[in-house]
Amino acid sequence: MSERIGFVGLGIMGRPMARNLMAAGYPLTVWNRSRPGIEELVGQGAAEAAGPRAVAERSDVVITMVSDSPDVEGIAVGPGGIIEAARPGLAFVDMSTISPDVTRRIAARLGEAGVEALDAPVSGGESGAINATLSIMVGGSERTFERCRPIFEAMGRTIVYCGPSGSGQTVKLCNQIAAALNNLAMCEALLFAVKMGVDPRKMLEAVSAGAATSWAIQNLAPKVLARDFRPGFKIAHQQKDLRLVLEAAREHHLPLPGTGLVHQLFAAVEAEGLGGEGVQALAKAVEKLAGVQVS
Q: What is the tens place of the pLDDT at every residue in 131-163?
A: 999 999 999 999 999 999 999 999 999 999 999
Looking at 164, 196, 221, which one is the last position of a domain?
Answer: 164
Claim to verify: residue 269 and residue 247 sit in the same structural domain: yes
Average pLDDT, integer, range 245-250: 96
Claim to verify: residue 137 and residue 27 sit in the same structural domain: yes
Claim to verify: residue 117 and residue 96 sit in the same structural domain: yes
- Given a contact cutoff of 8 angstroms between Cβ atoms, the answer to whether 9 and 65 are in contact is yes
Residue 295 in domain? no
* pLDDT surpasses 80 at 1: no
Domain count, the chain: 2
Among 125, 123, 145, which Cα is nearest to 135's?
123
Euclidean distance between CA atoms 277 and 51, whole angstroms: 29
Percentage of the chain lying above the pLDDT 90 cut = 97
Claim to verify: residue 110 and residue 216 sit in the same structural domain: no
> What SS3 class is residue 106?
helix
Torsion sign (Cα): 112, 114, 120, 126:
negative
Claim to verify: residue 78 and residue 139 sit in the same structural domain: yes
Q: What is the pTM of this model?
A: 0.94
CATH number of the structural domain spanning residue 71: 3.40.50.720
Residues involved in catalysis = 172
**Residue 207 — pLDDT band, cuts 50, 70, 90?**
very high
* pLDDT surpasses 80 at 194: yes
**Looking at residue 295, what is its pLDDT?**
85
CA distances from 263 to 124, 182, 282, 295 (A): 20, 13, 10, 24
Domain that holds residue 201: 171-290
Claim to verify: residue 208 and residue 158 sit in the same structural domain: no
Percentage of the chain lying above the pLDDT 70 cut = 100
Claim to verify: residue 47 and residue 182 sit in the same structural domain: no
Claim to verify: residue 223 and residue 115 sit in the same structural domain: no
What is the rounded radius of gyration, in angstroms, for the C-alpha atoms of the chain? 20
Claim to verify: residue 152 and residue 31 sit in the same structural domain: yes
> What SS3 class is residue 197?
coil
Claim to verify: residue 206 and residue 150 sit in the same structural domain: no
Claim to verify: residue 216 and residue 262 sit in the same structural domain: yes
Residue 9: HSE in the Cβ half-sphere, 13 Å Cα cutoff: 21
Amino acid at 128: G
Of 117 and 232, the structure prediction assigns the larger pLDDT to: 117
Query: What pLDDT, in 10s, does the model give residues 54-106?
Result: 999 999 999 999 999 999 999 999 999 999 999 999 999 999 999 999 999 99
Q: What share of the chain is helix, strand, coil (3-state, %, to 5)?
A: 55, 15, 30
Mean pLDDT of the chain: 97
Average pLDDT, integer, range 168-189: 98
**Looking at residue 2, what is its pLDDT?**
82
- Dmax over CA atoms of the chain, in Å, equals 65
